[in-house]
Amino acid sequence: MFGTSGIRGPVGETVTGSLALDLGRGLGSMTDRIVVGRDPRESGDALARAAIAGAQEAGTDAVDLGVESTPTVARAVEWYDADAGLVVTASHNPPADNGFKFWTREGRAFDAEATGTLSTRVEDSGEATVPPPEMGSVSRVDDASRRHLDRLPTGDLDSLSVVVDVGNGAGGLTADALLALGCDVTTLDAQRDGSFPGRPSEPTAENCGTLTTVVAATGADLGVAHDGDADRTMAVDETGRFLTGDELLALFAGETVPAGADVAAPINASAVLDAVVEERGGSVVRTAVGDGHVAAACTDQGVAFGGEPSGAWIWPDEALCPDGHYAACRLAALVAAGPPLSDRVAALPTYVTKRESVRCGDKAAVVAEAESRTRSRYDDVTDLDGVRVDVDDGWFLVRASGTQPLVRLTAEARTERRAEELLAEAAALAGRESPIEGA
């Protein structure tokens, strides 16, 4: 039921009101009080109400936050003295999808143990109901965004011009936070609309063409973009170039953490991160793909930052959830301090990273076969998440997507030609002559 980041899928098929009710009952049987929020998707209100009803039936009180970003809900668990948080969101998926993310009191995504317990409780959710006099209550609050804003960085960035692409999602708090810092802020697609009419919800280079154009045309210093629930933040430099997630990961790791500190990142992150962190006397702690795995590594002493190339950034001293609003403020402060973002990126070591996907029916079987083949051909094989092979001049990875019927392929080397060769080798090991879909 659970993928790398909660549950998500088409509404009416994978995600239903019945499932939301069962999840609410299951979560309610584990807690006394929960907070519930949602992104602007049209199905979100009904699903949130069903989940709240389920929690009430299990005797649990619910605090309804309404439409809020995922990081706001994750942080709000502690603010409203709750035991857990639930966000109704499909993150960067298409409008027809929805889903559920779960958060601990510490603002950390449910780990495997917690999701396992919840799965068991959901199976037995019919037994979790209590008599009417013992049902939980519901309270509605409207100050979660203000409380979040109060906890974001302060300062004076009045020389900075920033374009914020909200993507019609729940991330409008970023514009408020940057305005409070004194920035000159222009917003794109700031109206909440769960059909995402401005652009697809995922903040990729292909989807953020308007942002890159506006930044370049207006002479802005920085552009930032969120996904539907604003746990992801991506960036555009002052020339209008969309930064890759690996570049942004390396910049954050090299510029916002103390020298000598360790950094957590998934197994599919670029070697540019290792180069930057090791130069500063630290090391990279590799995890399985998924911000929950990165957050778990961030609880280890010595890990000062964690991130994923997809745009999830975690500073554990601040919060254990990926907070797109906080990340945007940290990035704005970097740019304001100079040099320009394009110069910072140009100073990074150069690697060529290729990411593609193979669509298949049984992704687990494909990855298992790929692992069997690699172990007979290569010496340096890692099976932390899928199978990664390191060679003298690069590496490649074959892993199953946690949310879609895809096998993800990643390859990296110092040159374009070698990266293409390694990607082709990964595709062959996955049982295809070549990848068939962009990652």
Q: Which residues are catalytic?
A: 91
| Closest among 134, 84, 131, 126 to 109, alpha carbons compared | 84
- How big is the chain, counted in residues? 439
CB 4 within 8 A of CB 289: yes
Instruction: Give the integer Cα–Cα distance in Å for 386 and 408.
Output: 9
Tokens 């298992």 sit on residue: 368
> Which residues have a Cβ under 8 Å from the Cβ of 339 and sit 6 or more positions away?
none
Task: State how far the Cα of 392 lies from the Cα of 32, in Å rounded to an integer.
Answer: 54
What is the side-by-side order of every strand in the sheet holding 233-236? Answer: 184-188, 161-165, 222-226, 233-236
* For the chain, the helix, strand and coil percentages under 3-state DSSP, each to the nearest 5: 35, 25, 40
- H/E element, 329: helix 324-337
Nearest residue to 230 (alpha-carbon basis) of 353, 313, 109: 313
Residue spans of beta strands (DSSP E) within 201-340: 222-226, 233-236, 262-266, 284-287, 303-307, 313-314
If one counts every other C-beta atom within 10 angstroms of the C-beta of residue 97, the result is 22
Place of tokens 């197994």: 267
Nearest to 62, CA basis, from 91, 125, 73, 72? 73
Specify the DSSP element, H or E, that contains 142: none
Expressed in angstroms, the distance from the first to the final Cα of the chain is 23
